[in-house]
Structure 1
């Protein structure tokens, strides 16, 4: 029997609801494949602020560091909007990424054929969309200093600093090339080299590294053009690699190609140690506790967890196939459903996926 320790951080809003379905799915995988998953729960985000006064307790950091992988729900909500920066839930998320030295965020954007009507774009535009966005996670304007608000001669002044090292750029761009080698061998590097000095260095580094990957076609695209091209012709992309803020924005835009944020998983990986897996949607406090949240992004995140942290490729593929099968059979949550389809609550959708998973194994 293989044994794995999984740190579970449900977080805020709908986080606990969708994480519950992911845990139940992993338990079913364990039964079917003779794996033992030991789930250890920790606090992060707003719930941690309320209970212990900080969005990232030291106990949570230690739990994650001692685990094989981390499963996260969501953090944040308007309840904590007026908290000082050190107590904001999002500070906890940034903090755990830093503590685990997670530098590469992988966001697959795959349109399931049965959901093509859910996309706001035309069928002929989004059909066969399959993109992997690789986002740098530890540098850029989100982490640069100085960062301050001050009063000057013309009133309030603010400063945010975009800071990157060549080493940080090289690490994430190389990851992009490696991932492209396992796909269609096409890498698009997104920057703003016509304006930003950081982007000019980014492009130089990408061109230099490209020599080491002659089998991968490298192209460059300015971020404003990339935002347009994602909507105009998403099928032109295979792997996109970009810096922190650009990746944050483009991946949320790309989510609408699939019809809902509730369909997109993510993986955050470091050089070593546990990866962190989470849906890219927020905490959605307006629907928290109502059992209407879509758990599929979190369930698909468990597939990434199985694949990237535990090396269980067969099990990961099985999870993705079970999600595909449930969707093919018309099962939906309210964010991707219509009046003529079977709209399920959160737990019912989780059960549907588990049922197809078991059926696939038996066959």
Structure 2
């Protein structure tokens, strides 16, 4: 467990409280890695990597990257993902029953390649006042993320994979849609990245699985989260060939909420539920996910981001009450 920055530690406390109430048979090896809290070093990063080599699975909060330049372009969050080769980020954007938005019954998946692209930390000042930032796109990693997307679509029974690109302008570095092995049942298309946000806002139902490079995915993750309630309700996960890291779908530290007991724990609890499913703890995964969804559907306990006045603690207590009606009585 990496609590991260901002409200991350508070959300992880919520996870631990719910796990305790649900008698989840998981013991966390907790580490703290934070640049903004001066708890980041190569030694700490190595400790996290060693822990991951043993467990293969992690749940993490947002590890915030400071805005000021300190001589190292690659943040610890970026270095962690690179060392674990977490190439595929998956965000399942799904409407929550009982919470109405402009588009209801929405169900789409965003798959983002997150080891190259604009976030390669290859930047320099060529001449004074001129900054160059290299966008790295390789055939091998483009094919790998495309295969991952098609395999995911096939495994989950999805009908279509949409490859998002900017090939009309960035022709040489644009990865082309690739049909991966075993993807015979999944169709594919490829819209320009520029009109995609407008298409998502106007008619998101036309999309099923979307696969895209790093920067586009970062933008689209956040936009799509807004369609179903915001960053506080969308879970996410990142995969390599060996590791699985579970995190919120839209990564925000929400620093202005620290210590105020107002953060929405929905996304982190659903993320934790997905982690349990990955660990083959289906009963506990379903127990927690259903409890969270019942609280949302009931509509009586809602945090401020969903238009209510409930605190984080109120929400967690309600989830626990839905796990076991007499827990804590």
Structure 2 unaligned spans of 5+: none
SS at match of 1:332: coil
CA displacement at 1:97 relative to structure 2:
0.9
* Aligned match of 1:92: 76
Q: Does 1:311 align with 2:280?
A: yes
> Aligned match of 1:293 in 263, 286, 308?
263
CA displacement at 1:354 relative to structure 2:
2.4
CA displacement at 1:211 relative to structure 2:
7.2
Q: Does 1:44 align with 2:17?
A: no
Residues 233-267 of structure 1, C-alpha deviations (whole Å, 9 max, x = no match): 01111111111111011111111101221111110
> Aligned match of 2:312 in 339, 346, 350?
346
> Aligned match of 1:112 in 85, 96, 101?
96
* Aligned match of 1:196: 170
Question: Which deviates the most, 59-68 or 189-198?
Answer: 59-68
* Aligned match of 1:355: 321
SS at match of 2:191: strand
Q: Measure, in 2, the Cα distance between the counterparts of 1:282 and 1:44.
A: 16
Residues 138-165 of structure 1, C-alpha deviations (whole Å, 9 max, x = no match): 11111163x21232xxx41111111122
Residues 40-81 of structure 1, C-alpha deviations (whole Å, 9 max, x = no match): 11111235x52455695322222233224111122227xx43
* Aligned match of 2:140: 167
Taking structure 1 as reference, are residues 51 and 167 closer, same or farther at Cα in structure 2, changes over 3 Å only?
A: closer
Q: Measure, in 2, the Cα distance between the counterparts of 1:55 and 1:160.
A: 29
Q: Does 1:82 align with 2:59?
A: no
Q: Measure, in 2, the Cα distance between the counterparts of 1:217 and 1:357.
A: 40
Residues 212-251 of structure 1, C-alpha deviations (whole Å, 9 max, x = no match): 5221111111111211111010111111111111101111
Residues 301-324 of structure 1, C-alpha deviations (whole Å, 9 max, x = no match): 11221223x133443333322211
Taking structure 1 as reference, are residues 81 and 128 closer, same or farther at Cα in structure 2, changes over 3 Å only?
A: same
Task: Give the structure with the higher percent strand.
Answer: 1
* Aligned match of 1:321: 290
| Number of aligned residue pairs | 322
Q: Measure, in 1, the Cα distance between the counterparts of 2:318 and 2:268.
A: 15
Matches within 5 A, 1:151-300: 151=127, 155-181=128-154, 182-198=156-172, 200=174, 202-203=175-176, 206-207=177-178, 209=179, 212-273=182-243, 275-279=244-248, 280-300=250-270
Q: Given that residues 44 and 55 in structure 1 are in contact (C-alpha distance below 8 angstroms), is that contact kept between their aligned partners in structure 2? A: no
TM-score for the superposition, normalised by structure 2: 0.90
Superposition misfits of 4+ residues, deviation over 4 angstroms: 52-56
Taking structure 1 as reference, are residues 313 and 226 closer, same or farther at Cα in structure 2, changes over 3 Å only?
A: farther
Q: Given that residues 190 and 220 in structure 1 are in contact (C-alpha distance below 8 angstroms), is that contact kept between their aligned partners in structure 2? A: yes
TM-score for the superposition, normalised by structure 1: 0.82
> Aligned match of 2:124 in 143, 148, 155?
148
Taking structure 1 as reference, are residues 230 and 148 closer, same or farther at Cα in structure 2, changes over 3 Å only?
A: same
Q: Measure, in 2, the Cα distance between the counterparts of 1:17 and 1:103.
A: 28
Task: Give the structure with the higher percent helix.
Answer: 1
Q: Measure, in 1, the Cα distance between the counterparts of 2:131 and 2:91.
A: 31
